[in-house]
């Protein structure tokens, strides 16, 4: 009699434990797991978001330092500048710019990856209130496949004629011409009369495309063998916005249509066509508003 009761008690206890364990596992599975992070200066940056910039944690710092050096040399940075960065990613440049801009300076970063924008707002804006970040839910196969918004609906939350510097690292390399034109028209509106735009891109002609196909210097296998529209080549028809290149003429027409002026165009050697230059870098354009006659 006693042993039958003991067996029942043990069976019930086992059942209760099993139910509790199942509940615990279900709750554990629902709890969002912390992503691995990379410790950089005083920040812990989610590694998966660093990877979405196209480069990994090991090069995060060196690329950031290279960016700032390039910007200082080509467009100049001043502590009181108002800087707009399109494609701010996980704050590679913004973190460096917190050390350059004074409290009178201002920075706005724009990106289409919501988690990156949220991370930057929680970690950078919290310490530097003059740094803010804006998310646009634009559809992009690579960076935001579920996006619902169109670039041409964007109106930047910025007063006319107020921005000193606009920066785009490898953003026009992921965009078609009508969308680039829309951004450039917005830049023309928000840029100060003496302001400058710094944008990297892939600029091609037949010889550069031939060199790219022969040399294959980048890890992305850039060949630009597919004409997408007049003066615009894509690398992979399955991922059209993965990498987009333009002829110089197509870019100049777009820049002129937006009412902007191309001040300089500096070649990078991503294609291997310019052997005197270090390998890898994209081409760079510096644009300004047209002088008032």
**Minimum CB distance to ligand SAM, residue 87 (Å):** 3
Closest C-alpha to 241, from 228, 258, 254: 228
Q: What span, in angstroms and rounded, lies between the C-alpha atoms of 225 and 40?
A: 38
Binding site for ligand SAM (CB under 6 A): 53-54, 86-89, 92, 110-113, 138, 140, 143, 151, 169-171, 174-175
Total count of residues recorded for the chain: 293
**Minimum CB distance to ligand SAM, residue 63 (Å):** 7
147/253 with CB nearer ligand SAM: 147
Q: How many CA atoms lie within 13 Å of 210's alpha carbon, on the beta-carbon side?
A: 3
137/160 with CB nearer ligand SAM: 137
**Minimum CB distance to ligand SAM, residue 289 (Å):** 21
How far is residue 15 from each of residues 2, 5, 10, measured CA to CA in Å? Answer: 20, 15, 9
Closest C-alpha to 84, from 157, 19, 181, 173: 157
**Minimum CB distance to ligand SAM, residue 236 (Å):** 16
Residue at token pair 């987009």: 244
User: Residue 151's CB: how many other CB atoms inside 10 A?
Assistant: 20
**Minimum CB distance to ligand SAM, residue 31 (Å):** 27
24/220 with CB nearer ligand SAM: 220
83/113 with CB nearer ligand SAM: 113
128/183 with CB nearer ligand SAM: 183
Write phi, then psi, for 126 (nearest 5 degrees). Answer: -60, -40
């Amino acid at each position: 009699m006693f042993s039958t009761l003991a067996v029942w008690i043990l069976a019930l206890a086992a059942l209760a434990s099993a139910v509790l364990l199942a509940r615990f596992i279900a709750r554990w599975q629902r709890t969002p797991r912390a992503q691995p992070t990379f410790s950089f200066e005083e920040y812990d940056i989610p590694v998966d978001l660093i990877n979405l910039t196209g480069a990994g944690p090991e090069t995060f710092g060196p690329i950031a330092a290279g960016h700032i050096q390039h910007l200082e040399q080509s467009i100049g940075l001043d502590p009181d500048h108002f800087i707009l960065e399109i494609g701010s990613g996980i704050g590679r440049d913004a973190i460096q710019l917190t050390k350059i801009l004074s409290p009178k300076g201002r920075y706005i970063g724009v990106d289409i990856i919501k988690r990156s924008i949220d991370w930057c707002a929680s970690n950078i804006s919290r310490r530097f209130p003059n740094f803010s970040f804006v998310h646009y839910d634009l559809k992009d196969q690579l960076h935001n496949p579920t996006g619902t918004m169109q670039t041409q609906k964007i109106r930047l939350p910025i007063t006319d004629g107020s921005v000193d510097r606009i920066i785009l690292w490898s953003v026009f390399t992921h965009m078609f011409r009508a969308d680039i034109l829309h951004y450039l028209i917005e830049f023309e509106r928000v840029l100060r009369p003496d302001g400058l735009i710094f944008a990297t891109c892939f600029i091609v002609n037949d010889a550069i495309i031939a060199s790219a196909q022969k040399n294959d210097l980048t890890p992305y296998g850039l060949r630009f063998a597919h004409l997408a529209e007049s003066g615009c080549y894509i690398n992979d028809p399955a991922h059209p916005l993965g990498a987009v290149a333009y002829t110089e003429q197509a870019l100049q027409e777009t820049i002129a249509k937006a009412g902007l002026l191309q001040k300089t165009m500096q070649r990078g050697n991503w294609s291997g066509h310019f052997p005197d230059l270090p390998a890898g870098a994209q081409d760079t354009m510096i644009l300004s508003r047209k002088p008032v006659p």
